[in-house]
Amino acid sequence: MSINPGTPGNEPIEPHSGIPTLTLDPFEKAFLADPISHYSFLSDAGPVFFLRKYGIYGMARFASVKAALDDHETFCSGRGVGLSDFSKETPWRPASLLLETDPPEHDRARRIVNRIVSLTAIRHLTESWALTATSLVEELVSRKSVDLITDLAEVFPLRVFPDAIGIQKTGRENLLPYASATFNAFGPRNDLFDATNLIAAKSIEWVANSCKRQNLEDGGWGMAVHEAADRGECTEAEAERLVRSFLSAGVDTTVNGIGNMLYAFAQHPEQWQALRSNPSLIKKAFEESLRWLSTVQTFFRTTTRVVEVAGCRLPEGSKVLLFLGAANRDPRKWADAAMFKVERPLVGHVGFGSGIHACLGQMVARLEGELVLSALVRKVKSIRPIGPSVRRLNNTLLAFSSVPVEMERP
Ligand code: HEM
pLDDT, residue 7, reads: 41
Tens of pLDDT, residue by residue over 360-402, are: 999 999 999 999 999 999 999 999 999 999 999 999 999 999 9
Reported as half-sphere exposure (CB side, CA atoms, 13 A), residue 261 has a value of 31
The pick from 96, 253, 354 for probing ligand 1's pocket by mutation, whose C-beta has the most ligand atoms within 8 angstroms, reads 253
pLDDT, residue 346, reads: 80
> Ligand 1 pocket, 99 CB below 6 A?
yes
Q: How far is the CA of 269 from the centre of ligand 1 (A)?
A: 29
pLDDT, residue 387, reads: 96
Rounded to two decimals, the pTM is: 0.94
pLDDT, residue 195, reads: 78
Tell me how far apart the alpha carbons of residues 274 and 288 are, in angstroms, rounded to a whole number: 14
Ligand 1 atom 34 nearest Cα? 360
Per run of 10 residues, the mean pLDDT along the chain (length 410 residues) is 37 68 96 97 95 96 97 98 93 91 97 96 96 97 94 97 96 92 93 81 91 97 98 96 96 96 98 97 97 98 94 93 98 97 92 98 97 97 96 97 95
Q: How far is the CA of 296 from the centre of ligand 1 (A)?
A: 9
pLDDT, residue 198, reads: 74
Using CA atoms, how far residue 73 sits from 110, 205, 301, 304, in Å, is 17, 34, 11, 7
Angle in degrees, 0-180, between the axes of helices 362-379 and 156-165, rounded to the nearest 10 = 140
> Ligand 1 pocket, 80 CB below 6 A?
no
CB 408 within 8 A of CB 384: yes
Query: Which residues does 336 contact at the CB level (< 8 Å), separation at least 6?
Result: none
> Ligand 1 pocket, 81 CB below 6 A?
yes
- Kind of pairing between the strands at 319-323 and 298-303: antiparallel
Tell me how far apart the alpha carbons of residues 346 and 158 are, in angstroms, rounded to a whole number: 28
pLDDT, residue 90, reads: 86
